[in-house]
Structure 1
């Protein structure tokens, strides 16, 4: 079947697609509100004229404009024609195509993975086609058209497409615009070869159509999750590098010091075990005092205890200046532990 293509839109991608159609010898016409930008030999003077000339209508326009364009186009279409979109996201455009055209008019969602820059570089051409059960034949027609333009065609669902694009296209745009905002690459006297991929990303963000960034980020249902995952990964990477840098700046401890630290840790472990043992004894004392109507805590007993502890500390060669603070903390810890244990049993 020889297709005749009608392009609705003559922006950057519309012009690029028109060039491929011309190179492949595919007859086509163009309708765009900015008609002065369309070569006269390609111009269709109205939407009705474009529709009457075409077997395939290509919506080469922003995703946000699709619904209104399809609504205007719908009364002019027949079941022998095919409508395709070429947006960078697929879930929402496919929903719009299904809601406006339904079962009556064949339609299919596609995403040509090329543009003016990639065509100028001579990159391989790929196109994703999203089959739908309402119009199986539409997939074959779209595939045949793009293969005639030299494209390798991959079929996948709109959801699978958008999820894949979220991990590739979305993050590429996100990183590229982040580099621009960070001023990466400005006023460099020179740059090493390793910087070239970064420079290309930065250039990509500056030269692409501004609205495309917003569409890719806002219309892809998986974009937010992909961005958040990237930011989490970058934060984790940053924190790991900070920790590594801190470790490098901190001189390595000599073996003798490591040995002393290990013995200190062991003593502290024994201290904690002793404090736990003391708290259990205080809990038992509190129970006995409660049974006999004795005060808890006993301030006179605690005062005399501190005097005795001072004598022990001096005998063992300890400086006693902070001893009161230590034992007040021990008393408080044991009382709190005993009270918490009593409350849990109540």
Structure 2
């Protein structure tokens, strides 16, 4: 009886043993003792004494994790012989083809690539619809045909294709299935009393892929060169479908703008400049205070257009906007600049000597750094959190007692009129020419 070694005794290694045990003397090798815990081997099967013993068989099956495959092959290569047959059962094929060519190609042994299209949850020796993908790769025709006949004798349907063709198709089937299954788990999809047949099918997909290790999922996505484009297409399809569900206008006949600032902010000044220049007739404003909230509202269909600052000539990039734009996709419709002037304001019922801090967006402090250091050094610079990161919202907070009245505000002149504040200083920006660039965006 021919001797076959299975390298890797994980979930699939155990299935491979069931497939081969009746026809071969099987040696099993795994570096982890836990792989054999509670497992009784069939009479004609044994555990390898050491690596040399494991690699002395006539046929070697590699059923190791995809990410460990190259390390294993490079370690085993010096011990393998020219008269042996090497087969892998990895779920990707371009990667093992490259690894086996690199490490075993010059040695001249027969190498066959396989991918059994079943796993521990779907394997049943009595089933007639189980398939295995095979590629002759670097084997003699006689050896390759012998293994085709063997697998067919085990009631497996043999499908022959190249590694590239396999991975291209697998990305759209196995790769997609595992990705969707993990996605369903991420959103906590659970059983309900009113599940339809389709919903139950989705549950089965989720459960089946969740039985496999996270490492297998990572390997299927990372080592198949075609899964990246699959995920990209899936994301684009999601965005298109999501967009089709959103109304063309939040309010018919009106363009709803969501802006980074509040009432009286520079963002509002920028919006007024835009609608005047472009003669927008019917519009309304939603004050959202932060770039993240603007893009979230745009993505969710709560506004038609978003507007936020992206860059200032002195302060540079608006970091909160950049961070928000890494989270949400949007289309830039218009880019424009307006001049920015900064005014220092306080409540009229507070004396200047009682002020202990000045509050503004961190970008404002970058534009007025030298001036503040020279003229208002004793005032602690404070940037609010949440909506109060916006200077206009902070001015509202000071005026309405939500923020300490000992706090001054540094921002647009209009805030003094809106909230009955006293102007203490004007044109505090470090450079007289101080334009800020704004972006108008859509979905």
Q: What TM-score, normalized by structure 2, do the two folds share?
A: 0.51
Displacement of 1:3 in angstroms is 4.1
Aligned residues: 244
Q: Does 1:234 align with 2:238?
A: yes
Q: Is the 8 A contact 2:114 2:135 kept in 1?
A: yes
Q: Distance in 2 between matches of 1:226 and 1:136?
A: 34
Give distance in 1, aligned partners of 2:2 and 2:237: 48
**Higher RCO (CA < 8 A, seq sep 6+):** 2
Checking the alignment, whether the CA contact within 8 Å between 1:111 and 1:127 is kept in structure 2 is yes
Q: Which residue of 2 aligns with 1:328?
A: none
The corresponding residue for 2:261 is none
Question: Tell me, what secondary structure is at the counterpart of 1:242?
Answer: coil
Counterpart of 1:146 in structure 2 is: 151
Question: Post-superposition shift, 1:176?
Answer: 0.6
Contact 1:5 1:29 survives alignment (8 Å): yes
Is this contact kept in 1: 2:74–2:103, CA < 8 A?
Answer: yes
Partner Cα distance (1:159, 1:174) in 2: 20
SS of the equivalent of 1:118 reads coil
171-180 or 122-131, which deviates more: 122-131
How far has the Cα of 1:42 moved from its partner? 2.0
Residue aligning to 2:432: none
Tell me whether 1:79 sits opposite 2:82 in the alignment. Answer: yes
Matches of residues 2-21 of structure 1 in structure 2 within 5 Å?
Answer: 3-21=2-20
Aligned partners of 1:125, 1:205: CA distance in 2, in Å? Answer: 18
Check the 8 A contact 2:112/2:139 in 1, yes or no. Answer: no
What CA distance in whole angstroms lies between the structure 2 residues aligned with 1:159 and 1:171? 17
Give the Cα separation in 1 of the matches to 2:221 and 2:181. Answer: 13
Alpha-carbon offset, residue 210 of structure 1: 1.6
Aligned partner of 2:214 among 199, 202, 210? 210
Deviation readout 1:69-107 (Å, 9 max, x if unpaired): 222322332222111111010001111011111142221
Matching residue of 2:94 = 91
Moved more, 40-49 or 153-162: 40-49
Deviation (angstroms), 1:134: 6.3
- Which has the larger share of helix? 1
Task: Tell whether 2:73 aligns with 1:70.
Answer: yes
Contact 2:128 2:156 in 1 (8 A): no
Q: Identify unmatched segments of 5+ residues in structure 1.
A: 251-346
Q: Cα offset for 1:143?
A: 1.9
Larger radius of gyration: 1
Higher strand share: 2
The structure-2 alpha-carbon separation of the partners of 1:109 and 1:62, relative to structure 1 and needing over 3 Å to count, comes to same
Q: CA RMSD in A?
A: 2.5
> C-alpha distance in 2, partners of 1:197/1:86?
27
Residue segments in structure 2 that go unaligned for 5+ positions in a row: 253-443
Separation in 1 of the partners of 2:64 and 2:154?
Answer: 20
Q: 1:42 is paired with a residue of what secondary structure?
A: strand
Q: Which moved more, 1:63-72 or 1:174-183?
A: 63-72
CA distance in 1, matches of 2:142, 2:238: 45
Q: Tell me the residue number matched to 1:341.
A: none
> Matched residues in 1 for 2:138 and 2:89: separation?
19
Partner of 2:117: 113
| Deviation of 1:194 (Å) | 2.5
When residues 134 and 13 of structure 1 are mapped into structure 2, their CA distance, relative to the original with a 3 A threshold, is closer
- Given that residues 108 and 142 in structure 1 are in contact (C-alpha distance below 8 angstroms), is that contact kept between their aligned partners in structure 2? no
Match of 1:32 in 2: 30
Does the Cα contact within 8 Å between 2:118 and 2:130 map onto a contact in 1? yes
Q: Structure 1 residues 15, 176: closer, same or farther in 2, change over 3 A? A: same
Report deviation, 1:136: 4.3
Kindly indicate whether residue 56 of structure 2 is the aligned counterpart of residue 58 of structure 1. Answer: no
Task: Name the SS of the counterpart of 1:114 in structure 2.
Answer: coil
Which one of the candidate residues 168, 173, 179 is aligned to 2:173? 168
- Would the aligned equivalents of 2:131 and 2:159 in 1 still touch at CA under 8 Å? yes
SS in 2 for 1:6: strand
